[in-house]
A and B are shown apart, each in its own frame.
Chain A
Amino acid sequence: VKAGRRINNVFFGICIFCSCAPLVLLILLTVGMSWPYPSLLPRVFSLRYFQYVFGDLQTLKAVITSILLAGFVTLLTLAIAVPAARSLALYKYRGKWLVELLVLAPLVVPAIAVSSGIQVTMIRLALSGSFLGVTLIHTVFALPYAIRIMTGVFEIISDRYEQQATVLGAGAAMTFFRVTLPMIMPGLLSAAAISFTISLSQYITTFLIGGGRIITVSMLLIPYIRSGQVQTAAVYSAMLIAAAMFSLFLMERAVRRFYNLETVVFI
């Protein structure tokens, strides 16, 4: 039994190494200045790549666009996903299976098919190249994740507590803000975090619907990897991760303070 446990520990250690070592590499890539072929570590460390990337006004604009876009996508996704998940978790009705299929569909139907198809309509409605158009298409691909998470949450908490609140005389608004919202908050945060990252990492949807007018960090990143400029690409990658982490951190702080929660668990 002991030997088995040791093998397990080694195995688990390898898993953790494999998932973390690449991140260390990413950091090295962003701060390594001169890193010619056979050397395993950078020879000089400096922040020149950061200076290079942030010295460009376009980068700052892209960072702001990405974060704003991801923020709006998150809000819209939650506003749509929460009622939909509630409906799926707590009610039985005709046609429910169709809705369930519709939730699964964006997980499997590729973004390229949907966005190149809808482009003509978007142009006709003057949504192509607009912030709103890109927000809508990102939201479609964030919704399945958010709805899956929230459906699970509503199934667990059910509506017993809300019924109690109603029996005790709470109105609809009070029930929602004082009972439902605090209970679904941890799930809501996971859903928000996932929606935010999904929006941040979108490329082809932004490219086709944004029509070159909405420039995000992901769109700046791709030409650099394609041309083999790994270190510049790494700085953009670090920015994507930092933006995601920072937003998660802010959301967690805000919620903890608001609801006096001890810990908020993500994912």
Chain B
Amino acid sequence: MVQPCGKIKTYKQLVPYALVLPFVLIMCFIFLGGIFQAIVQSFGYLPAFGMNVPTLRYYGQVLSDTRFTGSLFHTFYIAIVASSLSVIMGVIIAFAINRTPPGRGFSHILYKSPIILPHLVVVVLVFHIFSQTGIISRFLFNLGLVNDPNNFPLMVYDRYSLGIMLVYLYKQIPFVSLTVLTVLKNLDRKYVQIAANLGAGKWQTLRMVTLPLLGPSIISAFLITFAFDFGSFEVPFILGSPARLTLPVLAYFDYASASLDLRPAAMVANVIISVISLALIWLYVVSLRFFTRRGLEGKVL
């Protein structure tokens, strides 16, 4: 992976490579090894089970399966809706927080609390609040708006995966607003005041200075949340409708099933999820380069 090229003169030039070596090793062994194995098995090559002939059969089989394509669309739908809403609301909240005077240390810590909560805990909470016998349903019952828990709209295990998206929103809105807020605070000190000095109006500053400068962090927040929502297993596994499986859950059920024929199919699903995710990183890097070329700050990490 890291190839010191012929120009190395002193051992000092090897220092960064040595420092990063343990990381590269564990990633090659576990992470890239795992993806490599998934690719090999997706071609139906599993010597341990006597399957020795690589074939493209499983790709054809999976890609023409409506169960798979339906799941692919549904996963995309969840990820796009949840990550777009997270970014929009996160940015709005960041602007609002940026305008409130500082010195409210405690409340500033409180709104971050969802970031530390494990997803599983949020799943429990969403279930208890939004299920048919949940808190909201109980409120409406006491107000006389719902006369039977079965009349409360299904928001968990539902076809539109609302419950899943609520978990993502709860976790991600504070994440996005925190990311954007960090950048906003720096901008204020530098460019926004300069723009004001040069006579730019509020709206003009927002449109011409703030939003373009926020670009890289907004894009990175969108792609990271999108990738998470696309590949998360636990949340749709618990809160999803059995009729609308997301891709990771589908891959898991195929993988765990007793039928050996389904194992390569599960790996095809895994490879496709990984390819989509990796395409996202590529997009991310390309978009950062686009911003950097325009003289804006953008870093891969």
Inter-subunit contact A19/B110 (CB<8 Å) = yes
- With A and B bound together, what is the CA distance between A112 and B228 in angstroms? 12
- With A and B bound together, what is the CA distance between A5 and B104 in angstroms? 14
- With A and B bound together, what is the CA distance between A107 and B230 in angstroms? 11
Inter-subunit contact B233/A203 (CB<8 Å) = yes
What are the residues of chain A within 8 A of B284 when measuring CB–CB?
A: 104
A112-B252, A225-B124 known; A107-B38 Cβ under 8 A: no
- Bitwise interface map of B from 6 to 28 toward A, beta carbon under 8 Å scored 1, else 0: 00000001011111101110110
Q: Smallest CB–CB gap between B301 and chain A, Å? A: 5
What are the residues of chain A within 8 A of B29 when measuring CB–CB?
A: 136
What are the residues of chain B within 8 A of A151 when measuring CB–CB?
A: 301
What are the residues of chain A within 8 A of B194 when measuring CB–CB?
A: none
Inter-subunit contact B38/A230 (CB<8 Å) = no
The 8 Å CB contact of A19, one of B23, B114, B139, B278, is B114
Inter-subunit contact A108/B107 (CB<8 Å) = no
What are the residues of chain A within 8 A of B118 when measuring CB–CB?
A: 197, 200-201, 218, 237, 240-241, 244
Inter-subunit contact A233/B35 (CB<8 Å) = no
Inter-subunit contact B238/A226 (CB<8 Å) = yes
Query: Can you add 8 more A-B contacts, CB < 8 Å, to A108-B281, A241-B117, A267-B112?
Result: A87-B20, A105-B278, A107-B224, A110-B248, A113-B273, A116-B252, A116-B255, A240-B121
Query: Looking at B20, B48, B223, which has the most chain A CB atoms within 10 Å of its CB?
Result: B20
Please classify the interface of chain B as helix (H, G, I), strand (E, B), loop, or mixed, using the class held by over half of its residues.
Answer: helix
Show 29 residue pairs from A and B whose CB-CB distance is below 8 angstroms, ordered by the A residue: A8-B99, A16-B107, A19-B170, A23-B113, A25-B135, A40-B138, A83-B22, A94-B5, A95-B1, A99-B24, A105-B281, A107-B227, A109-B31, A109-B277, A110-B270, A110-B274, A114-B38, A116-B270, A117-B270, A121-B37, A136-B30, A139-B26, A143-B23, A143-B27, A203-B233, A222-B120, A225-B238, A233-B127, A267-B116
Q: Specify the chain B residue showing the minimal Cβ separation from A95.
A: B2
Q: Specify the chain A residue showing the minimal Cβ separation from B12.
A: A91
- With A and B bound together, what is the CA distance between A225 and B157 in angstroms? 12
A234 on interface, CB distance cutoff 8 Å: yes
A80-B23, A88-B20, A203-B120 known; A94-B224 Cβ under 8 A: no
B59 on interface, CB distance cutoff 8 Å: no
Q: Specify the chain A residue showing the minimal Cβ separation from B232.
A: A110
- With A and B bound together, what is the CA distance between A241 and B223 in angstroms? 28
What are the residues of chain B within 8 A of A148 when measuring CB–CB?
A: 301
Inter-subunit contact A104/B300 (CB<8 Å) = yes
Inter-subunit contact B116/A197 (CB<8 Å) = yes
Inter-subunit contact A38/B16 (CB<8 Å) = no
The 8 Å CB contact of B267, one of A105, A107, A116, is A116
Inter-subunit contact A237/B224 (CB<8 Å) = no
Q: Smallest CB–CB gap between A145 and chain B, Å? A: 11
- With A and B bound together, what is the CA distance between A79 and B19 in angstroms? 11
Inter-subunit contact A225/B127 (CB<8 Å) = yes
Inter-subunit contact A29/B128 (CB<8 Å) = yes
- With A and B bound together, what is the CA distance between A101 and B14 in angstroms? 20
Q: Smallest CB–CB gap between A133 and chain B, Å? A: 9
